[in-house]
Amino acid sequence: MSKPTTPIIVGTRGSELALVQAASTEAALAAAFPDREIIRKVITTTGDRRTDVPLSEVAKSEGTFDKGVFIKEIEEALAAGEIDIAVHSLKDLPTKLEPCFTLAAVLERAPIRDVLIIRRDNALTNLAENLADHINALPANSIVGTGSVRRAKQVEWLRSDIVVTDLRGNVPTRLRKLAETDTYDAIILAEAGLIRLGHITAGDAIEEIAGMPQLIAIRLAENDFFPAAGQGAIGLQVRTDDATNRSFAEAIGHRESWLRITAEREFLRLLDGGCHTPVGVYSSICGDIISIKARVFPDAGGHPKSGEAHGTDPINLALELFKSLS
């Protein structure tokens, strides 16, 4: 019997981080299906093009209210059959997908925390003692850069003196903006992306950014500074009627990560929340028990609602978390 010759075409954004995530997907596919050729197609998205306005305003300025700004063009390529598996940072993928698309699997999840990056000249001398205080490691009236409404709301809630300002660009660009200008005293980035790009190592220590000794990374404990739904996960999206490529994606998926992100994304769906909704969700799993906590910020500011739930079924768990908000 001859080997199949149809390749698996993987679609991805072109940022450095997106390409690293695509490479991880391709390596997993190649290991699971050594008789298949894996081809990469790089696609420029609306969010990549529009760096002139805050991320929360990109969809409005482009008239793409129903789409994640980092997925629209990738989904168009998927629908047209130009790619077979779309690779996404899962937190960029809306919880409500068109019926023709399916989230088939996620790879094993990376660390989910956010990381405070601060210039050494602004850092407190006793950083090790202030690790548990995270945001309190910042001097008074600091300017913090982030493109995330969720991060901005949490910072403002924890430290009302801090000024939060918009920050766009890929991870290396954001790091350079902090290192080379006085626009920001600190920025906040996802731990997963920093590790995947080799800027920090896995672990809990305070450390320098690789190649930028003037920058220090402080991990923000996930049960204090809640991450985004799906943060740290790489999502694999396919056409709903494409059983073959769905089976390929499912074969390299990670079950525990899938259970956790299913609960998180279902909770976001129940809130009718999107990629820019100020919601933090933190989940963990021990044996068969999934634990999940949430912090939901009102658009107008003020104290967030919070809740938590524990259980084995991620869909039911999301509903219990939704009901527990107070």
d(CA 99, CA 228): 24
User: Is the separation of the CB atoms in 47 and 69 below 8 Å?
Assistant: yes
Q: Where are the beta strands (DSSP E) in 38-150?
A: 38-42, 85-89, 101-106, 114-119, 143-146
CA dist 160 to 37, 167, 226, 302, Å?
53, 19, 18, 11
Number of other CB atoms surrounding residue 302 within 10 Å: 10
Residue showing tokens 């290396």:
172
User: Is the separation of the CB atoms in 50 and 58 below 8 Å?
Assistant: yes
User: Is the separation of the CB atoms in 218 and 118 below 8 Å?
Assistant: yes
d(CA 66, CA 326): 29
Whether 185 sits among the annotated catalytic residues: the reply is no
Give me the catalytic one of 92, 114, 185, 242: 92
Q: What is the spatial order of strands in the sheet that 186-190 belongs to?
A: 163-166, 143-146, 186-190, 114-119, 212-220, 207-209
Q: Tell how strand 186-190 and strand 143-146 pair up.
A: parallel
d(CA 192, CA 124): 25
SS3 sequence, 245-270? HHHHHHHCCCHHHHHHHHHHHHHHHH
- CA nearest neighbour of 103 among 112, 94, 111: 94
Catalytic residue list: 92
